[in-house]
Structure 1
Amino acid sequence: MRSRYGNKPLQRERPFPIQMLGHNLPILLFLILAVAGMGAVYWFFSPVDSSSSAAEALAINDLDGGLSAPIYKTVPDKPVLQRLAQSPGPLRVGIIVGHRNNDSGAVCDDGLTELDVNSDIAQQVYAQLLAKGIHTDLLDEFDPLMQDYYATALISIHADSCDYINDLATGFKVAGSSYTNSSQLSICVEQAYYDTTEMFYHENTITPHMTDYHAFREIAPGVPAIIIETGFLNLDRDMLTTESYKPANGITNGILCFLGRS
Structure 2
Amino acid sequence: MTTSDQTNDLLEYLRQQRDLFRYRLPSRPDAGRFIDQLMRFLFPVTQDCQSATQDVSRTYAQLNDQLVCLMRPLSGHLHQAPEELSMLFFEQLRSIYDDLLYDARAIADNDPASKGFEEVIAVYPGFYAIAVYRFAHALLRLNVPLLPRMLTEYAHGQTGIDIHPGARIGRSFFIDHGTGVVIGETTVIGENVKVYQGVTLGATHVAKNMAQKKRHPTIEDNVVIYANATILGGKTVVGHDSVIGGNVWLTNSVEPYSLVYHQSQIEVRTKEVE
What TM-score, normalized to structure 2? 0.25
Structure 1 or 2, whichever has the larger Rg, is 1
Structure number with the bigger relative contact order (C-alpha 8 A, sep ≥ 6) is: 1
